[in-house]
Amino acid sequence: MFDIMFGTLFQLLTTPYLMGLMVIAVAIGIFVGATPGIGGRLSIALVIPFVFGMDMIPGAIFLLTMHAVNGTSGQISSIMFGIPGDGDDAATTVDGYPLAKQGRAGEALGASLVASGFGGIIGAIVFAVLIPVLEPIILAFSPAEFFFLALLGITFIAFLAGGDNIFKGLAVGFFGMMLAFVGMDPATGIARYAGDNLFLWDGLSLVTAVLALFAVPEMIALGVQGGAIAKLADENVQISYRQVFSGVRQMLTKHWWLALRTSVMGAIIGMIPGLGSSAAAWICYGHAVQSSKHPEKFGKGAIEGVIAPETASNAREGGALLPTLFFGIPGSSGMAVLMGAFLILGIQPGPTLVKEHMDLVWMLIWGLVVGNVMAVTFLLFVARWVGKLTFVNGGMLVPFILVVVVIGSYINEGQWENLLILFCLSLIGYALLKYGWPRAPFVIGIVLGKIAEESLNKALALWGGHFFLRPLSLILMGMIVLTLGYAIYKSRAARRPRRAGVAHAG
Amino acid sequence: MPAKLICNGRILIAFVMFSIFVVMVGIALTYPAQARFMPLVVGIPGIGLTLFELVKEVRRALHPETESESDDAGSSGLPGDISRLIGQEAPPLTQPDAPKRTPAEESRRERLLLAYFTGLIGGIMFFGFWVAIPVFIATFLREREKASWRFALLSAIVSDALLYAIFTRGLGVELHTGFITDWVMDMFDPGY
């Protein structure tokens, strides 16, 4: 194990090609993280065409590094201008912006950037520590359990949608699964939903589906909204390197224990699919308030108020990678798109990864660590300029991104018919976005649909109709029922006060 | 009232999703037992779920006073409201300086964006990447974003150059040249 662990680190650090890819990934990650309208999910979907054809390890490292660092740069505008680069950064704004208004923006940036990197590294370590614990569990899974895991994955990700949306989430997940059945059925040789269209016999292009459901709707929405996030820079925000390194020092000497606690909490929250991306940041912010000797300072410019959410947000990525890689259940919607991209690279989540590709798993863990160190080091020096990206007019980016999307969809299989599929699915994707139907379950559905069917066929062949009576299968079925039950309970509980309010008003 | 229901986007998307499941289940019924098993296992609950959503949306449209709009609202993102954030994705980014627009204006902008996207897809299919992409970029930047002609044309030229450098030279991909372009080129040069 130590051979693989340190061998992969050595390989990563001494391969110029991999390091070069990481530098590019860090640069793109920082750019998309700070630019309005391009979130983590969208950025992964957009670069899929460029990693298509890459080897498994370089492609996966490139994607994961980019995904891991694009949250880091979003915090800059939260602190400097009080404008969260992403929803996750909202917690950082609460204390970050008051600090900036007090003339301590550099201090806040230094502390929060190092906290981000620290969180990312601790998240990767938590993941690494849990590998030996989880290995026997993963290897004990049979096709029957993988069938239920696929269903659990869709249930969990539908749960991500929260409240009443779980039914919409499930419907969208099932829609993704139905599209996964397009193409030649491996058991009977029947071309399902393909008719005479030969290009559909190999199945629907995953790249096209992901781009259509995520990238195009976001771009149309951005184009409709138009404008930049902010129009005027706050000229009062002054940043000196002295301040920045004072923040770094504070984080590493005075608040390291808080950072460690919130990092571990963030990583654990990341492992639980369905907790959502904002939860980690806010829960850890709440923990910082509760555990502080001076809770009254929070909201007015407490440095702990930027450290806690940033460590948690970045540590979450390491945690979320664990269920994604080992169980095929993404911990977040961003991870769902990343998982789709991994499948395109030929990475099959589950026991195969543990048995045959532990080198890849370690490479990804080191990728998280090295990527975070690179991003933080770079940002400590250029943060003040990266913050200016907030003023980029999102509308100007729309045509360029749409062009990348269309090319990505085409070059994936070199079939013009994919453009028609892109168009039709994009219309559905935009309608889903506009009317509040969650889209992340779609990726899970289309990715897990095939796995579920293959697993079910194998389970039926091995154990007949009694496959669901296996102990692990029963546990997984119980988890599905509990998840659904809790979601229904939550939805009813949320509706009760509203109804009561309406009745009272009436 | 029926016209109002048909024009309701929420009902329309629920109906589209319901129809997709019905059609796919219907087609699955024509397959042999083993091939139709999974599509039916997934499709029939899908019909149930989308029918439930459809009924819910119709009820909401008919009785707006009892069915709250807050079903789809994201979390507020307030620190004191942490419990509500469990199970929620990040709230959508709001643009404080985004101009306030009327629904009609929003709808017009939306239709325009969709028309641009349709034009891009259609343009590529009929005229190919080399023609459609620079035309799309220049038109979009000039007409939609009110960029200067110089910037719009420069962006179009640079995009085509990058397209050639990255995809044709770098990745060796042969991009679709378009049905009409092929036909025209074939008229002038039969060996094209």
Q: Compare A44 and B54 and report the one with higher pLDDT.
A: B54
pLDDT at site B89: 44
Output DSSP code: residue B169: I
A297 touches chain B (CB under 8 A): no
CB < 8 Å to A487, chain B: 87
Take residue B76 and report the two structure tokens written for it: 């507020």
pLDDT in tens, chain A (506 residues): 677 888 888 888 999 999 999 999 988 888 877 765 566 667 777 787 777 678 888 898 998 888 888 777 777 777 877 766 565 677 888 888 888 878 888 888 889 899 999 998 999 899 888 888 877 777 777 888 888 887 887 777 666 665 567 788 889 989 999 999 999 887 788 889 988 888 888 888 887 888 888 888 888 888 887 655 444 445 555 667 788 888 889 889 999 999 999 999 988 888 876 565 567 888 888 888 888 888 888 888 889 999 998 898 888 888 888 888 888 777 666 777 788 788 888 888 777 777 778 888 889 889 888 988 998 888 888 876 766 666 667 778 889 889 988 988 887 778 889 999 999 999 999 999 898 888 878 877 887 788 788 888 888 888 887 888 888 888 888 988 888 887 777 767 766 665 555 555 44
B54 contact A CB<8A: no
d(CA A399, CA A75): 26
Which residues in chain A are closer than 8 Å to B45, comparing Cβ atoms? Answer: 170, 174
Q: What residues of chain A lie within 8 A of the CB of B173, using their CB?
A: 411, 414
Is B97 a residue whose pLDDT tops 70? no
Q: Is A183 helix (H, G, I), strand (E, B) or coil?
A: strand
d(CA A192, CA A381): 55
Q: What separation in angstroms does the CA of A284 have from each of A278, A310, A475?
A: 10, 9, 30
Q: Which of residues 94-123 of B touch A (CB under 8 A)?
A: 95-99, 106, 109-110, 113-114, 116-118, 120-121
* Amino acid found at B34: Q
Say which of B49, B85, B163 has its CB closest to residue A279: B85
Best to test chain B binding among A225, A317, A437 (most B CBs inside 10 Å): A225
- Measured between alpha carbons, how far is residue B187 from residues A293, A379, B123, B174 in Å? 82, 56, 20, 21
CB of A427 within 8 Å of any CB in chain B? yes
Q: CA-CA distance, A395 to A392, in Å (whole number)?
A: 9
Contact B89 A498 (CB under 8 A): no
Residues of chain A with C-beta less than 8 angstroms from the C-beta of B90: 86-88, 90, 276-278
pTM, entire model? 0.76
Q: Is A90–B91 a contact, with Cβ atoms under 8 angstroms apart?
A: yes
Label each residue of A241-254 as H, E or C.
Answer: HHHHHHHHHHHHHC
A5 in reach of chain B (CB within 8 A): no
CB atoms within 10 A of CB A56: 15
| Domain spans, chain A | 2-228+240-494
Check A428 against B159: CB less than 8 A apart.
no
Residue type at position B165: A
pLDDT at position B191: 62
DSSP B90-115: PPPP--TTPPP--HHHHHHHHHHHHH
Residue A201 carries which side chain, given as an amino acid letter? W
Supply φ then ψ for residue A299, to 5 degrees: 95, -15
Average pLDDT, chain B: 80
A332 closest CA partner among A44, A130, A132, A22: A44
Out of A392-406, A480-494, B30-44, B166-180, pick the least confident.
A480-494
| Residue A370 near residue A13 (C-beta atoms within 8 A) | yes
- Chain A nearest CA to B2, separation (Å): 20
Residue B46: its chain A contacts at CB < 8 A?
Answer: 171, 174-175, 178
**pLDDT range class, residue B127, cuts 50, 70, 90:** very high
Residue B30 has a pLDDT of: 92
Percentages (nearest 5) of helix, strand, coil residues in chain A: 80, 0, 20
Q: Which pLDDT does position B21 carry in this prediction?
A: 96
* Smallest Cα distance from B190 to chain A, Å: 23
Whole-angstrom distance, CA of residue B127 vs CA of residue B140 = 17
Chain B residues with CB inside 8 Å of A499's CB?
Answer: 66
Query: Residue B31: how many CB atoms within 10 A of its CB?
Result: 19
Give the pLDDT of residue B92: 44
Name residues 439-458 of chain A within 8 A of B (Cβ).
440, 449, 452-453, 456
What single-letter amino acid sits at A266? G
Q: What Å distances lie between residue A480 and A119, A151, A157, A476, A487, CA to CA?
A: 31, 8, 11, 6, 11
Probe site for chain A from B95, B137, B146 (most A CB atoms < 10 A): B95
pLDDT number for residue A390: 61
Distance from CA of B75 to the nearest CA of A (A): 9
**CB B78 within 8 Å of CB A87:** no
B167 vs A contacts (CB less than 8 Å): 407, 411
- Interface predicted TM-score of the whole assembly (ipTM), two decimals: 0.84
* C-alpha–C-alpha distance, residues B22 and B46, integer Å: 9
Contacts of B140 in chain A (CB under 8 A): 398-399
Query: What are the φ/ψ torsions at residue A183 (nearest 5 degrees)?
Result: 115, -175
Q: Determine, for residues A94 and B97 on separate chains, whether the beta-carbon distance falls below 8 Å.
A: no
Partner A, chain B 134-163, Cβ-Cβ below 8 Å: 136-137, 140-141, 144-145, 147, 155, 159, 163
Nearest to B82 among A170, A282, A406 (CB): A282
Neighbours of A301 (CB within 10 A): 20
